[in-house]
Amino acid sequence: MLKKIIIIIIVAILAFIAFAYVWVFNPFNIGIAPLTRQTARSETEKRLEITFSYNKQRMIASSQYAFWIEDMDGNYIDTIYVTQWTAKGGFSYRPHSIPLWVSVAEPGVMSSGEIDAISGATPSSGDYKLVWNFVDRNGTLLSGTQYRYFIEGTMNNEDNVLFSGTISIGEEAWEDFPAPEFSIPDSEYKGMITNVKVAFFPE
């Protein structure tokens, strides 16, 4: 009897170790989806493109991020993309997970359909592009000429990064390379989101 109990305990421990390994390191890319949300009907239309490099962090309470738009008065317009874990309730368990986005977008009062439309599984490391076509969260084409973009990432626990800038809508194309702002200046996780470029393409 004792031998059976010991075997059961050993099997349970090995199963837990295997689960933890897959959860943290995800060698088989379980739950991985391509990170690209494009609301454009055509890339010949007026649009904002955000390109960046992403290096997935291999710790619990990491690798969460969001890309969103506000007007010049700080009113929330739309989320271009947010990692699913935080958007679907993770913010309740870890208040430090992309806290600025949570406070502005208020995912707790979003419908499940809206969250599904703006979120996706945490992707694997790589280079990505997002496209926004100047529509708000209801799909209405905006008429303003200036907005603000924000890119927030939680690299590890309360270790966050923020990129931001102004979107000017005109007749000329432009590019912006926002500098990161780190909550912990000497963070060892600065490589999570890099090479951020925001580009505007007129009609």
Residue spans per domain, the chain: 1-30, 31-201
Cα 29 from chain centre: 17
> Across-strand partners of 64?
154
- Which tokens sit at 138? 């209801």
CB 170, CB 202: distance < 8 Å: yes
Quick check: 146 pLDDT over 80? yes
Quick check: 32 pLDDT over 50? no
pLDDT tens digit string along 164-188?
Answer: 999 999 999 999 999 999 999 999 9
Place of tokens 């419908």: 111
CB 36, CB 130: distance < 8 Å: yes
Averaged pLDDT, 137-165: 95
pLDDT given for residue 4 in this prediction: 67
CB 187, CB 155: distance < 8 Å: yes
Enumerate the H helices of the chain as residue ranges: 2-25, 84-85, 91-93, 99-105, 112-118
DSSP state of 21: H
Averaged pLDDT, 100-119: 95
Q: Biggest alpha carbon distance in the chain?
A: 80
To the question of pTM greater than 0.85 for the whole model, the response is no
- Which tokens sit at 100? 């600025």
CB 81, CB 35: distance < 8 Å: yes
